Structure 1
C-alpha cells in the first residue's frame, strides 16, 4: 500500500473551526460540568479550572450554546441580571435554575479562549427576541438591552460574531417545529432583524439534507445567511442505549459525508457555493440517551425518563470505536474543507463528551485524545493525496449483514508555519496492522519522522477514574529513507510528522 504525496496538489485550507465543540443545558453538561460553584476545583466564578485547562489544551476554537433542543423553549432574558427565576425546561422536563446564562457563557468562552456561537430560540421564540439577544451582546449602548448588559456590569459589548437561527426545527421532536414554508419565512424575518442590529454577524440556519426544506430556506434567505447547519448522530440510541460495538461503529464511517454531498449539491445548484458554507454544528458517533422524552408517550416517573440519563456517563462505553470514528469524521471535514467551515462535537463535557467531570477531577475519554492529536499537529493546508492498493476489510453492520470498506482513512496536510508534512492515518481494521509506504512527488528533504499512536490495548480500551487505557503513546522519532514502510497498528489513530520536507523559503 502506497500513499502518494505531491505538495503542489492541494484541496484547500481548512478552517480551525472544524475542531469546534458544543454544550447544552442537558444532564451534567452545564451544572456539575463546566459550571460547578462551590467545588474546590472551580474558580471564584464557579467555572471548573480543570475543564478550562483541558479545553485550552485542545485549543477549542468555537463553542456552540445553549442548545440543542433546550433552546427551543428557552427565553434568554430569564437568565441575565441579578434576579434569576427558575423555569421549567420543557425540552428535557427538569427545572432550569437560569444561574448560567449569557453573561456566564461569554465569561467561560473568554476563559477558554474560544469564539462564542449562540443558538437562538426559533421554537417558541420569535424574530424580535432573537434580535434583542444580538442587541444585548453586540451593541455599545443603544437600546434597552445593551443598557441592561451595561447595568449588569458588562460595559463593553461582547461582539458575538456567530449566531444560529434555531435548532432542528424540521423535527417533530423539537418544540416549535416548523414546516419548510414556515421555516423559510421565519429565518428571513429573523435574519433581517438580527442583521439590522449588527450587520457584521454571521448567521446560520437549521437545515438537513432535504431538497424541499433547503430550497424553501435558501430561496427565502440565501442572501442573508452565511452558514447552513446540519446535524448527525450515527448510532441513534436515544431511546435504547444499545451501543454499537467496534465493528458496527466503524461501519458507519461509510456514510460520514452523505449529508455533505447532498447539501453541497443543493448549494451548487442554487449558485450559493461561494457564499454559504456548511456548519456541521452538532455531531457525535452516538446519540444521547434520553428515553421517553422525544416520544409521543412520555415517561411518567423520573425513573422512566430522568434517572436513565446517568448511563450516558459510563466511561467504559467510550472506547477505541469512538476514537477511530471521531478521527474519520475529522478526516472527512478536512477533505471537504472547501465547503465545511465549522463542526461542533456534541457535547464537550459529560453525556457523550470527550471530557468527563467528577467531584475530584476529570477523565479524558478516548475522543479527547483524537482532538489533541489533530489540533496540535495537523497543518492548515489539506493536500490532494491518494493511496494505491488500498486494502479492504469486511465489518458487521448493526442492522445485520456485513459491509466492505477501506481499511485505512488517511489525510495529508502541510503545516506552512513549521514547513512540515503531517499525515493522519487511521487504521479501522479491528485485528490487523497494515504497512504504509510513501511515494513523494516534488521536493523532499526529510530524513526523519515522528509518529504518535492512539490505540489502547484493544478495541474496547477506555479511560475512567484511576483507569487509563486509551491515550496516545509518546512520539517516536524514526530515521526515514525512500521506501521505508510505516506500520499502522490495528484500531489506531496515527499522526506522522515529517520535519522540513519542503523549503519554507
Structure 2
C-alpha cells in the first residue's frame, strides 16, 4: 500500500485566484474558428453563425477569458481585413492556410458576449508595429468622433468593445515566427507600443512576450532583456508550454505539472531580479497564455506536406485518460502559483488541441481534458491554500517527482476543494489529510475521480461520455483526518464542507 499525507489549514494561504486563470484561446488555425465556434448553416447555428452547441459547452467549461486571434497567426495578420463589408482572402503562412476573413474582430466580440467571456486581444508586432496597434486600439475602444472609431460605428458597433487585456505580439523569441526579433529589438518595440497604447487608453493591461518554452536557448536572458526596456510599461510576461509523452515515457509525461512549476518559478525569479535592476516599485505578474497537452511531434512530421487550404483539420489531437490526468496536474500547478500567475489560457478551445471537439455539420462533445478544466473552474474559485504533500517519489527524466500532486482552494462560503493527482501507474495512493483546522462538523460533500482501466480510453461522437468524472464511495473524515483512496493515474476532486 502506497501512502501520502498533507495538511489543509486556512491559516496558510497563497493567494486569491484571479478568475482569468481559467482562460482559453481561439486562433485562426485549423478548424478552431471555421466549423469550430463559427459555422453558418449548421443546424445549431444562431443568427450570427455561432454554433449554439459549442457555446453551451464553452459555458459549461467555465472559460472566463479568451485570447484572440493568435498565436502564430497574428504575426502576419492585418486586422483591417476582418472588419467591414469588403474582406480580402489572404494566405496565412503561419499555418499554410487560406484565410477568407469572414470571421474577424466584430464577430469575435459578438461571440465573447454570447459566451460570457472577456476578450484578450493580441497585436501584430511581427510584420507590423506601433501605428497598426494604436489604430486597432482606437477602432476597438474609442467611443466616437475619430476615423477608426467612427468606422467601427459605421460597421454596426456603436458601443466600444472596451478590451482591457492586450498581448504585445506572440512568441517573438521563436525563429518560426514571422518577424522574429532579438530580445533587444522586441523589447524596444514592445515598450514603444505599450507607451503609445497607454496614451490612448490608460486602463489597459499589457502582456509582453516571454519565452516560448523553458527549453528555448534564450530563456531567462530573453525575459531580462525585454524587461530592461519595458518593465515600467507592461503588467505581465507571457509563458507558453506544451507537454507530450516522448518515446512512450509516460512517467515523465505525468510529471509535466512539476516541470510547469519549475518554469513558473524561474520566470518569477527573472522578473523579480529585473524589478531590483530597474528600481521599480511594481511587480510583474505572469500570463501563462498558452498551455496544454499537444502531440507536437506528430504535427511536425506532417508539417512539410501541408497544402494551401481553408480551415484544414490541423492539430486535432484526440485525448485519452492519461492526457486528462496530466491536464489536471497542470491546473494544479497554475493554482499553486496563483500569487503570480494571474492569467492563463489553455490552447485551444475547439478542435485544435482542444477540450471541445465539433464535427462540421455534426455534433460537438467533451474531450477527456474538458472535465478537469471544468471542475477546476467551478470549484477552484476562492483562496488557494498552501498544501505541501508528504509523498513517495519516483525517478524519471524530470528528476525526482512526487506520486501525489495536490492543492486546495477555499471558497467564500468556507467550502474547501482538494484537487489531487496520483501519478503512480500501478498503485492506488492512500491519502491521509489533516483537516482539523477546518473545524468540527466538516464532512466530505463529494469525491469524484477521473480514471479508467483503459488509460487509452477516449471520448467520441459515438461515446461522448466514455470518460468522465465518477463519484467515489468510502471517502470520509475520522477524528480530524480525511481518508481517501486515489486510483493509479487519476484526477481527484474532493469537496469538504458542512
Taking structure 1 as the reference length, what is the TM-score of the superposition? 0.90
- For residue 383 of structure 1, the aligned residue among 374, 385, 388 is 385
- For residue 262 of structure 2, the aligned residue among 255, 258, 261 is 258
Q: Return the offset for 1:419.
A: 1.5
Please state whether the residue corresponding to 1:2 is helix, strand or coil. Answer: strand
Q: Return the offset for 1:41.
A: 1.2
Please state whether the residue corresponding to 2:478 is helix, strand or coil. Answer: coil
Whole-angstrom distance in 1 between the partners of 2:102 and 2:311: 25
Whole-angstrom distance in 2 between the partners of 1:58 and 1:36: 20
Please state whether the residue corresponding to 2:409 is helix, strand or coil. Answer: strand
Whole-angstrom distance in 2 between the partners of 1:446 and 1:78: 61
Q: Return the offset for 1:287.
A: 4.9
Partner residue, 1:239 = none
The C-alpha deviation readout for 1:60-99, integer Å capped at 9, x for no partner, is 1100010000010000001100111111112122210001
- For residue 423 of structure 1, the aligned residue among 418, 424, 429 is 418
- For residue 143 of structure 1, the aligned residue among 143, 146, 171 is 146
Contact 2:435 / 2:482 at 8 angstroms: preserved in 1?
no
Kindly indicate whether residue 406 of structure 2 is the aligned counterpart of residue 405 of structure 1: no
Higher deviation after alignment, 84-93 or 107-116: 84-93
Partner residue, 1:68 = 71
Q: Return the offset for 1:445.
A: 2.2
Higher deviation after alignment, 61-70 or 455-464: 455-464
Whole-angstrom distance in 2 between the partners of 1:95 and 1:328: 36
**Closer, same or farther: CA 443–376 of 1 in aligned 2, 3 Å:** closer
Partner residue, 1:81 = 84
Whole-angstrom distance in 2 between the partners of 1:143 and 1:35: 31
The C-alpha deviation readout for 1:168-198, integer Å capped at 9, x for no partner, is 0111100000111111111111111111111
**Closer, same or farther: CA 222–142 of 1 in aligned 2, 3 Å:** farther
- For residue 209 of structure 2, the aligned residue among 194, 201, 206 is 206
Matches for 1:273-292 after TM superposition, within 5 Å: 274-288=282-296, 290-291=299-300
Contact 1:19 / 1:344 at 8 angstroms: preserved in 2?
yes
Partner residue, 2:492 = 494
Partner residue, 1:462 = 458
Whole-angstrom distance in 1 between the partners of 2:199 and 2:485: 56
Contact 1:463 / 1:470 at 8 angstroms: preserved in 2?
yes
The C-alpha deviation readout for 1:263-298, integer Å capped at 9, x for no partner, is 11111112268431100101112255544797xxxx
Whole-angstrom distance in 2 between the partners of 1:301 and 1:67: 19
Whole-angstrom distance in 2 between the partners of 1:274 and 1:422: 32
Whole-angstrom distance in 1 between the partners of 2:46 and 2:264: 41
Please state whether the residue corresponding to 1:32 is helix, strand or coil. Answer: coil
Aligned residues: 480
Kindly indicate whether residue 369 of structure 2 is the aligned counterpart of residue 367 of structure 1: yes
Kindly indicate whether residue 344 of structure 2 is the aligned counterpart of residue 335 of structure 1: no
Please state whether the residue corresponding to 1:249 is helix, strand or coil. Answer: helix
Partner residue, 2:243 = 234
Partner residue, 1:503 = none
The C-alpha deviation readout for 1:214-258, integer Å capped at 9, x for no partner, is 22211212111111111111339xxxxx78564342143331122
Matches for 1:81-230 after TM superposition, within 5 Å: 81-208=84-211, 210-230=219-239
Higher deviation after alignment, 485-494 or 265-274: 265-274
**Closer, same or farther: CA 357–234 of 1 in aligned 2, 3 Å:** same
- For residue 249 of structure 1, the aligned residue among 232, 239, 253 is 253
Query: Superposition RMSD on alpha carbons, in Å?
Result: 2.3
Q: Return the offset for 1:404.
A: 4.0
Q: Return the offset for 1:120.
A: 0.9
Q: Return the offset for 1:442.
A: 2.9
Q: Return the offset for 1:211.
A: 3.1
Kindly indicate whether residue 477 of structure 2 is the aligned counterpart of residue 480 of structure 1: yes
Contact 1:264 / 1:273 at 8 angstroms: preserved in 2?
no
**Closer, same or farther: CA 312–273 of 1 in aligned 2, 3 Å:** farther
Which runs of no fewer than 5 residues in structure 1 stay unpaired? 237-241, 501-505
Q: Return the offset for 1:212.
A: 2.7
Please state whether the residue corresponding to 1:40 is helix, strand or coil. Answer: coil
The C-alpha deviation readout for 1:350-381, integer Å capped at 9, x for no partner, is 12101000122112111100111111123410
Higher deviation after alignment, 470-479 or 32-41: 470-479
**Closer, same or farther: CA 249–300 of 1 in aligned 2, 3 Å:** closer
**Closer, same or farther: CA 309–475 of 1 in aligned 2, 3 Å:** farther
Whole-angstrom distance in 2 between the partners of 1:150 and 1:2: 59
Whole-angstrom distance in 2 between the partners of 1:61 and 1:252: 24
Higher deviation after alignment, 127-136 or 203-212: 203-212
Contact 2:257 / 2:333 at 8 angstroms: preserved in 1?
no
The C-alpha deviation readout for 1:131-151, integer Å capped at 9, x for no partner, is 111111100003211000000
